[in-house]
Amino acid sequence: MRAACVFAEASQGRPDSLPFHSRGEEGHGMSEERIKEGSLKAGPKELGRRGEQAACALLIHKGYEILERNWTCPAGEADIIALDGPCLVFIEVKTRSGVKRGMPSEAVTPKKRARYEKIAAYYLDEYVGDTFHVRFDVMSLLVTGKGRALVRHYVNAFGEGSLC
């Protein structure tokens, strides 16, 4: 089953009408993302859901094809599974409203990385079956103000070297 991400309509295809505005240099994976109003007050589950939605919108804008959101198996849940060209990408999304407990990406522990590798094995076994290029990314969202978050996309964040 393929899941689609819904995000604000782009009027006449202008980049400034999308729900985020790029910050920094291309390829560094940083942007300031607009997320739903009230995110500073949202509980952890709602904050996470909104962060995943914003991450999904950014990935679509970057040309990724979203295959799954919140895909579950006996090993756990993958936030986003997407195609980036010929590469199957498993993406862990971490969203925080402050840095008191550290940056969002710091929450992706070695234990969580190992779990994501097991999740990938289940997914490949169930849906792909053949050899496939796999990559593990992390998207870190730090809410910076009402309706905005700083986004950092760590491409090939962990796993066995650069496979794609």
State the pLDDT at residue 137: 95
State the pLDDT at residue 116: 92
State the pLDDT at residue 105: 77
Cα four-point dihedral sign 19, 4, 27, 114: positive
The one-digit pLDDT tens for each residue of the chain (164 residues) are: 333 333 222 222 322 223 333 333 333 444 444 444 444 456 878 888 989 999 999 999 999 999 999 999 999 999 999 999 989 999 999 988 866 677 777 778 889 999 999 999 999 988 876 667 899 999 999 888 777 888 999 999 987 765 67
State the pLDDT at residue 13: 31
Task: Name 70's bridge partners.
Answer: none
3-state helix, strand, coil in the chain (%, to 5): 30, 35, 35
Distance, CA of 83 to CA of 89 (rounded, Å): 6
State the pLDDT at residue 109: 82
Distance, CA of 110 to CA of 92 (rounded, Å): 13
State the pLDDT at residue 143: 85
Domains of the chain (ranges, CATH numbers): 33-158 (3.40.1350.10)
Please compute, for residue 10, the number of CA atoms within 13 A of its CA located in the half-sphere on the CB side: 13
- CA 144, chain centre distance (Å): 18
State the pLDDT at residue 65: 96
Q: What is the pLDDT of residues 77-125, one digit of tens each?
A: 999 999 999 899 999 999 888 666 777 777 788 899 999 999 999 999 8
